Amino acid sequence: MMQLQSYLKNVDLVNGPMIKSVYFCVDYILEFHNYLRIIVWSKRRIMENKNRSSNIELLRIIAMLMIISYHIIIHCVNVQLTNTTSIEQMQNGWFNQPLFFRQLLLLAEMMPLGLVGNAIFILISGYFLVAREIDMLKISKKLLSQLFFAAITLVSASTISIWYTGGEIVNDNLLSYIRIQYFNKMSWFVGYYFIIMLIAFVFLNHFLAKLSQRQYLGFIFTIFAVAQLGWSGGLLDDLAKGLRTVFVGVFLYALGGYISKYDPFKKVRVYVFLLVIALVDVLIGISYYNGVVGKIQSYSYDVNVKGLAETDFIQSIPRFENYSIVVIIIGICIFELFRRIKMPSVKTINWIAQATFMIYLLHDNGFAYSIWEMNDWITLLYNDCFGFIIKLSEWTFMIFVIGLIAYMVYTGLTKAIAKMSWLFIKQE
Distances (CA, A) of 393 to 43, 68, 334, 383: 41, 10, 20, 17
Are 398 and 278 within one domain? yes
Among 16-25, 54-63, 94-103, the minimum mean pLDDT is found in 16-25
- Of the candidates 50, 67, 87, which is a domain's last residue? 50
Helices (H), 263-302: 270-300
Does one domain contain both 41 and 58?
Answer: no
Q: Does residue 155 share a domain with residue 19?
A: no
Q: Is residue 115 part of a domain?
A: yes
Q: Confidence class of residue 14 from pLDDT cuts 50, 70 and 90? A: very low
280 has a pLDDT exceeding 80: yes
Q: Do the domain assignments include residue 269?
A: yes
Residues 172 and 88: their CA atoms lie apart, in Å, by 12
Average pLDDT of the residues of the chain: 87
Q: Which helix (H) or strand (E) holds 215?
A: helix 213-228
Is residue 206 over pLDDT 60? Answer: yes
Shared domain check, 135 and 155: yes
- 45 and 63 inside one domain: no
Angle (nearest 5°) at CA 132 between 114 and 346: 60
Residue 136 is predicted with a pLDDT of 94
pLDDT at 424: 76
328 in the same domain as 347: yes
Cα separation values, 348 from 125, 343, 352, 355, Å = 20, 13, 6, 11
In-domain check, residue 251? yes
For residue 327, what pLDDT is reported? 97
Task: pLDDT band for 396, please (50, 70, 90 cuts).
Answer: very high
Mean pLDDT for 17-36 is: 47
Q: Specify the amino acid at residue 360.
A: Y
In a domain, 220, yes or no: yes
Give the C-alpha distances (Å, rounded to integers) separating 301 from 82, 147, 295, 376.
21, 51, 10, 32
- Residue 408's domain spans which residues? 53-423
Residue 428 lies in a domain: no
Q: Are 381 and 103 in contact, with CB atoms under 8 Å apart?
A: yes
Return the bridge partners of 173, or none: 170
Burial (CB count within 10 angstroms: exposed 0-12, middle 13-18, buried 19+), residue 270 = exposed
Q: Convert the pLDDT of each residue in 65-92 to its tens digit.
A: 999 999 999 999 999 999 888 888 888 8
Instruction: Looking at the structure, tell me whether residues 135 and 156 fall in a common domain.
Output: yes
**Total domains present in the chain:** 2
Instruction: Specify if 209 maps to a domain.
Output: yes
* Residues 388, 419 within the same domain: yes
Q: Are residues 245 and 210 in the same domain?
A: yes
**pLDDT category, 53, cuts 50, 70, 90?**
confident
- 190-226 per-residue burial string, b: 16 or more CB within 10 A, e: under 16: bebbeebbebbbeebbeebbebeeeebbebbeebbeb
Return the top range by mean pLDDT from 183-197, 242-256, 407-421.
242-256
pLDDT score, position 65: 97
Same domain, 28 and 57: no
Query: Could you tell me if 349 and 261 lie in one domain?
Result: yes
Contact indicator for 374, 173 with CB cutoff of 8 Å: yes
Distance CA 378, CA 88 (A): 13
Q: Tell me the whole-structure pTM to 2 decimals.
A: 0.86
Could you tell me if 288 and 174 lie in one domain?
A: yes
Look at residue 198 and tell me if it is in a domain: yes
pLDDT tens digits for range 130-159: 999 999 999 999 999 999 999 999 999 989
The 10s digit of each residue's pLDDT in 120-132 is 999 999 999 999 9
pLDDT of residue 310: 77
Does 34 map to a domain?
A: yes
pLDDT at res. 43: 47
Alpha carbon distance 204, 250 (integer Å) = 9
**How sure is the predictor about 377, in pLDDT bands with cuts at 50, 70 and 90?**
very high
